[in-house]
Structures are given as C-alpha cells and as structure tokens.
Amino acid sequence: MMWTINADPNAAFPNPMAAPWLDAWARIASMYQEATQACMQQLLLSSANIIQEHMLRAFTAAAQSCAEALAQNAMNVQQQAVERFSDANQKAMGMMGEAFADAWTAQSRTVH
C-alpha cells in the first residue's frame, strides 16, 4: 500500500488559526501558567518556613546562650563578693586586734 500526499495543505494539516487550535493553545498556556504559579508559591512558602525555622532556632540558641552567660556571671560576681567580704572581715579583725592591743597597751601604761 502506498501513501500519497494531497496537494491541498488544508487537507494534510489543520488550519493553525482555527478556533479549536487557538482554544487548545490558550488552555495549554493556562495550564503552564498554573503550574508555574504553583511552583513559585511553593518555593516562596517553603523558603519562608525555612527562614522562620532557622530564626527560631537562632533565637532559642541565643536565649539559651544568654541565660548560661548570665548564670556564669552571677556565679562569678557572687564568688567575688564572698572574697571581698572575706577580705573585709580579715581587715576588720585586724583592725579590732590592733585596737584591742592599743587599748591594752594604753591601759597597762596607766597602771605602771
């Protein structure tokens, strides 16, 4: 069996300007537009979720780090306060000892 091509171009190929073809191309373009829009929306939302998640992690880590630093600082200040009061107590005891010695010495001079 042998195929022959008709010389009439409209007989071999449909007219590209016919309404069904234009309608099909419009539907195809709409389909691609919807797919592109869905992809862009998904990209935007997933990126926003990632940014939000990382910001929350960073905030949590910063808050935890800050709390640890504040606790360490409180311990350091408390230790320094104990050292300062201990030093002050030692100096006070020394001053009281000197005062007692001076008073004892002064009293013993008046007795002799």
**C-alpha pair distances (Å), 32 with each of 2, 16, 43, 96, 106:** 40, 20, 16, 94, 108
Render the chain in DSSP notation, one character per residue: ------S-HHHHS--TTSHHHHHHHHHHHHHHHHHHHHHHHHHHHHHHHHHHHHHHHHHHHHHHHHHHHHHHHHHHHHHHHHHHHHHHHHHHHHHHHHHHHHHHHHHHHHH-
pLDDT in tens, the chain (112 residues): 445 555 555 555 556 667 888 889 999 999 999 999 999 999 999 999 999 999 999 999 999 999 999 999 999 999 999 999 999 999 999 999 999 998 888 877 776 6
- Measured CA to CA, the distance from residue 61 to residue 68 in angstroms comes to 10
Q: For the chain, what are the domain ranges?
A: 19-105
Residue 12 has what pLDDT? 56
